[in-house]
Amino acid sequence: MIVGTLKIHIIVPWSHSLKEKRMVLRSIIDKVRNKFNVSIAEVEDQDLHQSIVLGIACVTNQTSHANSILQKVIDYIGNTTEAEIIDTFIEIL
């Protein structure tokens, strides 16, 4: 069993409240969860209104498949939101 994890830091510069941030966050989480069937949650910076840090995990039987899924998630988030991806960290266990 291979577990792939991704930590992705996203900046939402136009967000001026936690309510605006939650709207963007909910949209990203719902879209990614439905398209890729991965576990996803906000893991840091819950009280900062312009910063989103997401943790994403997938389970598969091949290292290359886990890496491929996580790369596709990064590309998808980058292409479907106006938010800016600042940093990503992938770990395959």
Domain boundaries, the chain: 2-92
In this structure, whether the domain defined by 2-92 belongs to CATH 3.30.200.20 is answered with no
Q: Give residue 15's pLDDT band: very low, low, confident or very high (50, 70, 90).
A: confident
pLDDT digits (tens, 9 = 90+) for 43-75: 998 889 899 999 999 999 999 999 999 999 999
- Entry field: residues in the chain: 93
Mean pLDDT calculated for residue range 2-10: 96
**24 vs 27: CA distance, rounded Å:** 5
pTM: 0.89
Q: Give residue 81's pLDDT band: very low, low, confident or very high (50, 70, 90).
A: confident
Question: Residue 43: in which H helix or E strand, if any?
Answer: strand 39-44
